[in-house]
Structure 1
């Protein structure tokens, strides 16, 4: 699964996209969405969450997640405290990953 998020400004108009392909490169699904006003890291995390929701809905439990945001991947891998501004979305992402 490939994800990307961006914002025009910080904060600014944010959007994210997801592409899902199998190991042979066959298109399985994807979409892009506007997210309103936010930061690029917020858009990256929402893109990852919505991409994971798409894969789970399709019954896919094994996947490779590719993102151009090392910060997003580090935030997902490393525990953050409840006061972190993205703690809620990070918790949702981690719960989906734990279900796999």
Structure 2
């Protein structure tokens, strides 16, 4: 479950996505992508992204992705 919160921490929206068979890393990437698409559709232009996976954070900061599926999701992000 992913949650979108306002600037004061208030709940705005929650969502989940069925990603099929994949590892936790790729599932986290899907959560980031879905969340960013969601806030974009809601009209937000500035967001703070909180992720508890250090591997995902490192990849989003520019480290290469070994997984083809993970790489595809990172490109979309």
Q: What range describes the TM-score normalised by the shorter chain of this pair? A: 0.7 to 0.9
2:26 aligns to what?
Answer: 42
1:24 alignment counterpart: 8
Q: Please list every run of 5 or more consecutive structure 1 residues that lacks an aligned counterpart in the other structure.
A: 1-16, 94-100
Cα distance in 2 between the residues matched to 1:55 and 1:30: 11
> Paired residues, what number?
76
Q: TM-score, normalised by structure 1?
A: 0.68
Which structure dedicates a bigger proportion of its chain to strand? 1
Query: Is 57-66 or 26-35 further displaced after alignment?
Result: 26-35
User: Alignment partner for residue 56 of structure 1, among 28, 35, 40?
Assistant: 40
Structure 2: runs of 5 or more not aligned: none
- Deviating runs (4+, > 6 A) in structure 1? none
Deviations 1:44-80 (A, max 9, x none): 0000000000000001111111111010011111153
In the alignment, what sits opposite 2:56? 72
Which structure dedicates a bigger proportion of its chain to helix?
A: 2
RMSD of Structure 2 on Structure 1 (CA): 1.6
Aligned mates of 1:46, 1:32 — CA distance in 2: 10
TM-score by length of 2: 0.86
